[in-house]
Chain A
Amino acid sequence: MVDTLFRIFALIRKELLAVLKDPKSRVTVLVPPILQCLIFGNAASYDLNRVPYVLLDLDHSGASHALVAAIEGSGVFERAATLDDASQIAEPITRRQAALAVVIGHGFERRLMHAETAQVQVITDGRNTNTAGTAQGYLGTITADFAEAWRADHGYPATPGVRIETRAWYNPNLETRWNMIPSLIGSITMMMTMILTAMSVAREREAGTFEQLLVTPYRPTEIMIGKAVPSMLVGLVQASSILLVAQLWFRIPFAGSYGLLYLCLVEFLAASVGIGLFISSIARNLQQAMIGSVVVVMPFMLMSGLTTPIMTMPDALQALTALNPLRYAISMTREIYLEAAGIRQLLPEMLSLLAIAAITLPIAAWMFRNRMA
């Protein structure tokens, strides 16, 4: 047992030496994650201004005029057109002349005065979920503030105010509760660690050192651990650097528990490294490993909920995302980072990640010995 630990330790040390001795790979491990984080974070900024919208005011009352003034006074929205008829809504939205339409229904003022719920309908362009979602959130705040102020001004007691009814065209289940930066912790580290691991075995196979390793007393499981741990360590360093950028540069306050976050990250990295090692054990050379990991990383990214909500995917694809470690990582980091989620809430995801790692890692170890060119 002690012998095994010593041997594995020697392998881990060798792997880390190989990464750290080469100045190029030293840079590759640290700079891209931070750079990507800054680029993604700034490019995908969700601070909106001058969002074009179209207005259909069917009430033409004092209250409706006041609401429009409040919307436009925010500086976020800019009226692209004023409509006369509901049938005119479709065109500007479809042609992307406006990101959303605000419809103030008949009897808006009357309902407010009778302490009934007044309705404002918002139609968004669901093709652009991010803008639509954020714009909708802003509108909610603006109308709520408006309703409160209007009631106070006109001396009405607190009653149900304005209800916003949303229709997201082209994408009915608009997912708005997302936050880019915490999601990057999972997606960037996955990309980097998977490629790093996929190449580590393939590089050795190409150089002939893998056979040299196989004739030593190393067992496949030991080689697997010796290959997985250094990649996971590199992944943790990358995740920490992104975490620092998120808090120090983007100033996103961290709400949850660091211990829990790192526990989840270790599980997630084990699962991604398992997939990386699996690719590596199939690949015959470096090129195949490289292409293989890129081919696998892309769908993992697309089907992770990072850019498009999982709920909007076809059922079959939604089921497939259950195999995607990144999907769990993104929702877990988001929940821990922003909502301070506890271990109970995260348990199903943690178990899923554990299952992925428990399947891919042993398969990779088995493949080391049984898939020889």
Chain B
Amino acid sequence: MSPPAEAPPDAPRPVHVKAARKVFRPAGRDPVVAVDGVSFSAPRSTLTALVGPDGGGKTTLLRMMAGLVAPDGGSIRILGFDVAADPQPVHERIGYMPQKFGLYEDLTVGQNMALYADLHGVDRDARATVFPRLLKMTDLGPFTGRLAGALSGGMKQKLGLACTLVRSPELLLLDEPTVGVDPLSRRELWAIVRQLVGESGLTVVVSTSYLDEAAFCDHTVALHQGRVLAEGTPAEITARAAGRVFVATSGPATPARQLQAHLFQQPGVVDAVPEAGQVRVVVEQPGLPPRADDALVVACTPTAPRYEDGFMVLFRAAVGDAPAASIDLTRRPDGPAELPVVEVSDLVRRFGDFVAVNHVSFAVRRGEIFGLLGPNGAGKSTTFRMLCGLIPASGGTLRVAGADLRNARAEARQRLGYVAQKFSLYGDLSVHENLDFFASAYGLRGKAKRARIAWAKAQFELEAVARVPSGQLPGGYKQRLAMAAALLHEPGILFLDEATSGADPLARRAFWGRITHLAEQGVTVIVTTHFMEEAEYCDRIIIMDGGSALAMGPPAEIRAQARSGDGHEPTMEDAFIAIVEAARQVAREAAA
């Protein structure tokens, strides 16, 4: 018999977590079980991913492993030390990069690295060898004199990683290092991490809510609500969906998102997402294609599963039924269909010397779903805030429902609904009080107000939590409440800023189901997202990077720009990377 490829079970594993448990007890509220009996271990020189939606317990688990939070139960041994009893030697030997790494934005790249080297007592000789290696690895060499605050999101994360690595740790813990980072930088970051594991023999544990990133890892632990859904190599998790994945094609008259909404509600369907103009479906029974309306589905062919498909099989088994994803308006917005509802031309916004939005133009028709895509810092939110009249434009013109909301009469704002990036309702007030306040804010009163509040509670399943302070609601409820509050006054235009960030995959599907339904009933929807695949739900998208619009059009056209000769249909992420690289190439040629 040949020896096993893995280290023998008794070999010391740098990470050994056994039945770890953590309960948070906020004053005056119900206790929250953040981590509920999680066990896993990581062998030396491997890359392990903690995968799952927000609120799964990934961050708490990492913080316990780093010795920053004491566990309430179980044992955590890191590099042979019991972290709870003896955190100091662990602190000295690991590198931990939190979600928001503490870069000093007013210091340069070089000063930040030197500062972290000072903090960790790295001597001059060690610096002379470590710094050049880190700068080369992160491609930050040309930027050592630049202020950290002036770096792009992806570069900031790379600098954070470099600062974490100045003292050459034995174990590296990374908490969602790629969240909100552009796809290109995400790939670069993963390449760096793989290189650290492969060449330097580092042991790395990383958390991520992007399911596709699990494929880069040796081992994955799928987490949901503090529990382990499953553990295994990416191939093992992917195999859970073997024989269950199909690609359904709709007729030319049916948009993929409509077929997706239909398939998602079918019995026996685990998951359905629009992808490259078709719909990817995961079913419960292997080998059985989804039942669907023949008028909608033209073809349905089996396809190879991916990590996400396997995860969704596990996730649906744990979560159960998909939430309702429809919404029925009592009054449809009126007006001629093909007229532009939103018109933006040559829009510019400067903050001092920094150009956040650089000559962007677009128009949105009534009943359209229009997506602003791009990484954090691309200028999406700034554009959005100008559209809503929250900040003035530095140049160009913009009209929403025929008015510039910046100086329009208050009545013009009556026509739009706005859901902010983070939960922006009153946390101390109950669900009902919030709805009541926003209904009054939009001029509803008496019978009409009561009717609309009842409608909102019914449509968004909020009746059961009406008396709960909204700040204490779980994430999915908050998101529904925010949308309910934005629709009370039956606006014709709905603005949604990063509305799906932080939502679990099912909640995201339900959210898009509602958006699709709203658009079918004539509501114009403008949405920003940094999830590239969500572009498939939109009629048209605009891709932004560094304040400029790089491409605009229907998702299929944008994808076509990145189509290579190999017959493989590119994903929106492939398209984004191809477009950004082409734009940078043009910029380089112009400079040369």
Q: Which residues of A have CB within 8 Å of B420?
A: 208, 211-212
Within 8 A of A (CB), among B397-447: 410-411, 413-414, 416, 418, 420-429, 433, 436-438, 440-443, 445
Q: A-side binding surface: helix, strand, loop or mixed?
A: helix
A157 contacts B by Cβ under 8 Å: no
Which of B385, B414, B427, B440 meets A10, CB within 8 Å? B440
**Cross-chain pairs A/B with CB under 8 angstroms, 17 sampled:** A6-B440, A14-B433, A14-B437, A17-B429, A21-B428, A21-B429, A207-B426, A208-B422, A208-B424, A211-B390, A211-B418, A211-B424, A214-B389, A215-B418, A216-B442, A217-B414, A218-B410
Question: 12 extra interchain contacts, Cβ-Cβ under 8 A, other than A17-B428, A17-B433, A372-B391?
Answer: A10-B437, A10-B440, A14-B433, A21-B429, A22-B428, A208-B420, A209-B424, A211-B418, A212-B425, A216-B413, A216-B438, A216-B441
Of B410, B414, B433, B438, most buried by chain A (CB within 10 Å of CB) is B410
Given A214-B390, A215-B416, verify A3-B443 contact (CB < 8 Å).
Answer: yes
Closest to B391 in A: A372
Q: Is the interface of B mostly helix, strand, loop or mixed?
A: loop
- Give B residues with C-beta under 8 Å from A: 385, 388-391, 410-411, 413-414, 416, 418, 420-429, 433, 436-438, 440-443, 445, 495
Report how far A215 CA is from B443 CA in the complex, Å. Answer: 13
A6 to B437, CA, bound (A): 11
Known contacts A14-B426, A212-B425, A217-B413; A7/B441 CB under 8 A = yes
Tell me, in angstroms, the Cα distance from A360 to B506 when the chains sit together: 50
The answer to whether B437 and A219 have CB atoms under 8 Å apart is: no
Q: A212-B418, A217-B410 are in contact. Are A10 and B441 (CB under 8 A)?
A: yes
Task: Give the contacts of A313-351 with B (CB-CB under 8 A).
Answer: none
Q: Contact at A213–B425, with CB atoms within 8 Å? A: no
User: Which residues on the A side are within 8 Å of B440 (C-beta)?
Assistant: 6-7, 9-10
Nearest to A20 among chain B residues (CB) is B428
A219 to B405, CA, bound (A): 12
Asked whether any CB of chain B lies closer than 8 Å to the CB of A18, the reply is yes
Given that A7-B443, A11-B441 are known contacts, is A215 also in contact with B388, CB under 8 Å in the complex?
Answer: yes
> Within residues 108 to 167 of chain A, which ones have a CB less than 8 A from any CB in chain B?
none
Kindly list chain B residues whose C-beta atoms are within 8 Å of the C-beta of A214: 389-390
A217 near B429 (CB under 8 angstroms)? no
- Give complex CA distance A171, B70 in Å: 62
Shortest Cβ distance from B416 into A: residue: A215
Identify which of residues 5-60 in chain A touch chain B, using a CB-to-CB cut-off of 8 Å. 6-7, 9-11, 13-14, 17-18, 21-22
Task: Report Cα–Cα, A65/B157, bound state, in Å.
Answer: 89
Nearest B residue to A2, CB-CB: B445
Known contacts A6-B443, A212-B418: does B410 contact A219 (CB below 8 Å)? Answer: yes
Chain B residues whose CB sits within 8 angstroms of the CB of A208 once the complex forms? 420-424
Q: How large is the interface on A (under 10, 10 to 19, 20 to 34, 35 or more residues)?
A: 20 to 34
Are B429 and A14 in contact (CB-based, < 8 A)? yes
Give the one of B428, B429, B436 with max A CB within 10 A: B428
**For the complex, what is the distance from the CA of A9 to the CA of B441, rounded to whole Å?**
10
Contacting B at CB under 8 A, from A184-225, are 207-209, 211-219
Give A218 to B426 CA distance when docked, in angstroms.
17
**What is the CA–CA distance of A217 and B444 in the complex, to the nearest angstrom?**
12
- Whether the pair A18, B428 counts as a contact (CB closer than 8 A) is yes
Chain B residues within an 8 Å CB radius of A209:
424-426
Central interface residue in A10, A13, A17, by most chain B CB within 10 Å: A10
Question: Taking CB as reference atom, which chain A residue is nearest B410?
Answer: A217
B388: chain A residues within 8 A (beta carbon):
211, 215
List the A residue with the shortest CB-CB distance to B423.
Answer: A208
Pair B428/A218 contact, Cβ less than 8 Å: no
Query: How near does chain B come to A206, taking the closest CB pair, in angstroms?
Result: 11
CB distance from A359 to the nearest CB of B (A): 23
CB distance from B438 to the nearest CB of A (A): 7
The listed residue with most B CB atoms (<10 A of its CB), out of A17, A208, A212, A213, is A212
Chain A residue numbers with a CB within 8 Å of B422 are 208
| Complex contact A213–B390 (CB within 8 A) | no
Contact assessment for B427 and A207 in the assembled complex, using a CB-CB cutoff below 8 Å: yes
In the complex, A22 Cα to B446 Cα: how many Å?
Answer: 28
Q: B389 is contacted by which of A3, A7, A215, A218 (Cβ under 8 Å)?
A: A215
> Are the CB atoms of B443 and A372 closer together than 8 Å?
no
B424 in complex: contacting residue of A13, A21, A207, A372, CB < 8 Å: A207
Q: Are A215 and B390 touching (Cβ within 8 A)?
A: yes
Distance in angstroms from A178 CB to nearest chain B CB is 41
Q: With both chains docked as a complex, state the minimum distance between the C-beta of A197 and any C-beta of chain B, in angstroms.
A: 17
Q: Which residue of B lies closest to A22 (CB)?
A: B428
Chain A residues contacting B416 (CB-CB under 8 Å) are 215
Give, as a whole number of angstroms, the nearest-CB distance from B194 to chain A: 37
In the complex formed, the residue of A with least CB distance to B471 is A207
Q: How far is the CA of A209 from the CA of B390 in the complex (A)?
A: 12
Instruction: Tell me the bound Cα distance from A372 to B410 in angstroms.
Output: 18
Task: Determine which residue in A207, A214, A216, A217 has the highest number of CB atoms from chain B within 10 A of its CB, and name it.
Answer: A216
Q: B567 → chain A, closest Cβ, in Å?
A: 46
Closest A-B pairs by Cβ, 4 of them: A10-B440, A208-B424, A217-B410, A216-B441
- Chain B residues whose C-beta falls within 8 Å of the C-beta of A6 in the assembled complex: 440, 443, 445
Q: How far, in Å, is A163 (CB) from chain B's closest CB?
A: 65
